[in-house]
């Protein structure tokens, strides 16, 4: 008789563990995208691997800050504009990193959306459509690059130039659009 309640609470714990998920350290629940939208929250795919495709990790709608440390002021402002127009897509934003290229100059932003999240393509194409006012140098999403400084005209992501396979989801930009900006 005493071990019956213990067994019950153990199985309740297992159910809770199956339903919980986290997206970039934000705790969420694996529920249908419909139920999540009705709650005014954000669904992110590929964080509930054992569930059907319409069950995704549901979290409060993220409202990330653009990191200002070593990030150029005009890049921070353009980043805010991009987030404002793409609400509920981005969980974390990175700017400066001690490496070569625009990140090392505080001229690039990584918008972390989660692996293979279709919202990444939507954001990347929105940035392309607004590249003039945002003074964009180039954009990468899903192992493809669009570079207006090479004279490339706006075109759907499918038509962007293919990039080499760099090995990982992150290195191939399948979990974040990368946007490089021109110097002010
Ligand atoms: C930046 O990276 C270089 C090369 O990897 C390294 O030598 C240097 O110590 C790093 N600087 C900082 C502040 O971490």
Average pLDDT over residues 130-155: 96
Spatial separation of the C-alpha atoms in residues 95 and 99, rounded to whole Å: 11
How far apart are the CA of 104 and the centre of ligand 1, in A?
11
Q: Contact, 111 vs 87, CB < 8 A?
A: no
- Give the DSSP letter string of 42-101: EEETTS-TTS-TTEEEEEPPP-PPPP-TT--HHHHHHHHHHHHHTTTT-SEEE---SSSS
How far apart are the CA of 122 and the centre of ligand 1, in A?
34
How far apart are the CA of 98 and the centre of ligand 1, in A?
6
How far apart are the CA of 99 and the centre of ligand 1, in A?
8
How far apart are the CA of 162 and the centre of ligand 1, in A?
31
Reported pTM: 0.86
Q: Contact, 98 vs 106, CB < 8 A?
A: no
Spatial separation of the C-alpha atoms in residues 181 and 135, rounded to whole Å: 6
Q: Where does the pLDDT of residue 5 fall: very low under 50, low under 70, confident under 90, or very high at 90 and above?
A: very low
How far apart are the CA of 97 and the centre of ligand 1, in A?
10
Q: What is the pLDDT of residues 166-182, one digit of tens each?
A: 999 999 999 999 999 99
Residue ranges per structural domain of the chain: 3-59, 73-181
- Candidates 80, 79, 82, 43; CA nearest to 61 is 43
Spatial separation of the C-alpha atoms in residues 77 and 134, rounded to whole Å: 9
């Amino acid at each position: 008789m005493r071990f019956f309640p213990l067994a019950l609470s153990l199985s309740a714990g297992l159910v809770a563990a199956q339903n919980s998920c986290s997206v970039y350290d934000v705790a969420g629940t694996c529920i249908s995208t419909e139920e999540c939208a009705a709650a005014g929250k954000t669904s992110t795919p590929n964080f509930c691997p054992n569930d059907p495709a319409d069950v995704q990790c549901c979290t409060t709608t993220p409202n990330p800050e653009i990191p200002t440390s070593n990030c150029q002021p005009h890049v921070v402002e353009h980043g805010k504009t991009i987030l404002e127009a793409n609400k509920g897509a981005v969980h974390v934003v990175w700017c400066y990193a001690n490496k070569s290229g625009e990140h090392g100059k505080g001229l690039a932003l990584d918008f972390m959306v989660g692996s293979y999240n279709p919202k990444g393509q939507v954001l990347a194409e929105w940035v392309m459509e607004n590249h003039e006012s945002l003074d964009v140098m180039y954009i990468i999403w899903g192992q493809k690059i669009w570079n207006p400084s090479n004279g490339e005209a706006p075109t759907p992501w499918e038509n962007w130039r293919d990039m080499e396979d760099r090995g990982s989801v992150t290195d191939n930009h399948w979990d974040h659009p990368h946007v490089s900006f021109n110097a002010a």
